[in-house]
Structure 1
Amino acid sequence: MRYKNSKKDNYALTLIKGVILSFIITLVSFIVFALILTYTNITESVIPTVDSIIMILSIAIGSIYVAFKVYKKGWLNGAIVGLAYIAILIAIRRLISGNVQYNVYLLVKVAISIITGVVGGMIGINIK
């Protein structure tokens, strides 16, 4: 694949950077949200919604980054970032809790991750 910039980054490294960027955004966002949750009167019932919003924004930004760097097949590169992100989250959850419930909720999260990656990739490839 060719790159917009003249750096000699390879394709896999760019994908890894995009996924790492997504996780950094997720980590920072969750820390900020935890502080807000701790020091305000916001109830814990908003956690699932905020979790989904953070996941979507993180994947979108990581996908935009990758598609901007690799200017071919933005939708595919974005989907790869989304799929890698959710796969790593599932693996981490399995390591921490010992099990993962494979149900409709998880399937919806996987679908949202891939779709978000595709849309982010489309946006990233069209940024000039």
Structure 2
Amino acid sequence: MAKVQRESMIGVRGIIKATVLGLILSLVSFLIYALVLAYTPVSESTVPIFISVIMAISVFIAGIVAAKIAQNMGWLNGTLTGVCYALVLLLLNAMVFGDMTAGLFLSNLAICAVSGALGGMIGINL
């Protein structure tokens, strides 16, 4: 009798690895941006824009990685990676600042989910 293996559509291990990678990429990018802010005449008014851009790029790359690990359903694995990333940000924000507004969380969640889904779609086809 031949063994039949069921493939999981969701690669939990890949999502966790990709989320951690996205957080590390964000941390490194934020540190570089902090140095740019400290040693150049770049205005602090650019901070919110750069936070969103860095977050989107990090989750996009994480979505690619999650899809490559899962080998199927790239958009779903990328989206779930983005959602996990946003939830980790929510937890970190709650621990450090004690609160996060619903509007800020929802906008971060939307950016992360869309960026992750796009990364997953591209990652599955690489």
Q: Please, what TM-score do these two structures have when normalized by structure 2?
A: 0.89
Unaligned runs of 5+ in 2: 1-6
Matches of 2:57 and 2:100, distance apart in 1: 23
Identity value in percent: 36
Aligned to 1:117: 116
Quick one: which amino acid aligns to residue 56 of structure 1? Answer: A
Aligned-residue CA RMSD (Å): 1.2
CA displacement, residues 28-69 of structure 1 (integer Å, 9 cap, x when unaligned) = 000100001000000100000100010000000011011012
1:95 maps to which residue?
95
Rg comparison, structure with higher value: 2
Tell me if structure 1 keeps the 8 A contact 2:14–2:66: yes
Letter in structure 2 aligned against 1:53: V
TM-score by length of 1: 0.88
Pairs aligned (count)? 118
How far 1:13 moved relative to its partner?
Answer: 2.1
C-alpha separation in 2, matches of 1:24 and 1:109 = 17
Report the counterpart of residue 52 of structure 1 in structure 2: 52
| Residue 61 of structure 2: aligned partner | 61
Report the Cα offset of residue 108 of structure 1.
Answer: 2.0
User: Where does the alignment leave 5 or more consecutive residues of structure 1 unmatched?
Assistant: 3-10
Preserved contact between residue 90 and residue 105 of structure 2 (Cα < 8 Å): no
* 1:1-128 → structure 2 map (5 Å cutoff): 1=7, 11-103=11-103, 105-127=104-126
Q: How many angstroms apart in 2 are the aligned matches of 1:13 and 1:68? A: 12
- Partners in 2 of 1:109 and 1:24 — Cα distance? 17
